[in-house]
Amino acid sequence: MSSGQAGTTELRERVGISIAAADAPALLQIIDEAEASGVRQLWMTQSPTTIDSLTLYAAASQRTKEVRFGTSIVPTYPRHPLALAQQAATVAALGSGRLRLGVGPSHRPAIEPTYGIKMESPLVHLREYVEVLRGILWAGKIEHSGQFITANATLNNPPQVPLLISTLGEGAFRLAGEVSDGAISWNCPPAYLHNVGLPAMQAGAQAAGRSTPPLVAHSWVSLNRDTAAVRQAVGKTIAFYAQLPFYANMFAAAGYPVENGAVSDELIDSLVVTGDADAVAARLKELLDSGLDELLLTNVVLDNEAEDRSQLFQLIGRL
């Protein structure tokens, strides 16, 4: 789905929700609730010590019928693309084509000290990684010997899982336009996506002679009118991201430079959708109508996480 086609799709089909929990049984119950509420797309992030998203999706696919699953993202450096493809193909077979595989390089402070893997030329590495995934998961055959990755394998009945990549800087958005089935932003202000992200994706797609893939835009959301409390809660998380060089560079390019580790209220407000149900629904529609293909929402936790999550599920299920 390109940006020009996005307006023809039902709103709730274009809104996904990021989920997380401390244990797998709890996550399976959350997925059950989401589907029962009418939510059509769920996403999971993945770090070195969190639940493995694809393993969880394999189990969830056996107890759900319609809800779609996405990874946002699986880090590339710790896992060979053939190993990831093997796992993704299994989930795709169990889930009747409901999987979208999002991958990305993550960040140097998360990769190098944790895994002892040097994170060099992340966009070159990501390009090779997607090439291997595309070959094995779409064509069923890959013969690749590159700067970072060697892969030689065949796969019967390739599932053609859509391949999305994480995007922060202009180069990543351009790469998404060239090689991916979608770009996943995270904490990128909408104005930055319109002024930098989308044009770079379109340029990349044009250079590769293909249609521009969809942009999945991340946003924080809270069904709460206490703007100050929401701003404080989100601000702590944004301040953490701002310590990572890739994010600090993106925030500066977006017009919100991080000074002495402090993030501005203006940056926080640009990333948050808050208010009562009507106000939130109206803002989500406004964002989608602006040319963003899809939204990926993270619920802001204030008092009662389960209650807040349920209210968000019900709102999105009614869109």
CATH of the domain at 102: 3.20.20.30
In the chain, the number of structural domains is 1
Helix (H) or strand (E) holding 44: strand 41-44
Contact 122, 105 (CB under 8 A): yes
pLDDT digits (tens, 9 = 90+) for 130-179: 999 999 999 999 999 999 999 999 999 999 999 999 999 999 999 999 99
The predicted structure's pLDDT at residue 303: 83
- Give the structural domain span for 70: 3-318
Alpha helices in the chain (DSSP H): 24-37, 53-60, 81-94, 108-115, 122-134, 170-179, 190-192, 198-208, 227-241, 245-253, 265-271, 277-289, 305-318
Q: What phi and psi, each to the nearest 5 degrees, are found at residue 16? A: -115, 165
The predicted structure's pLDDT at residue 109: 85
pLDDT lower than 50: segments of the chain: 1-8
Task: In whole angstroms, give the CA distance from residue 202 to residue 266.
Answer: 28
The predicted structure's pLDDT at residue 6: 46
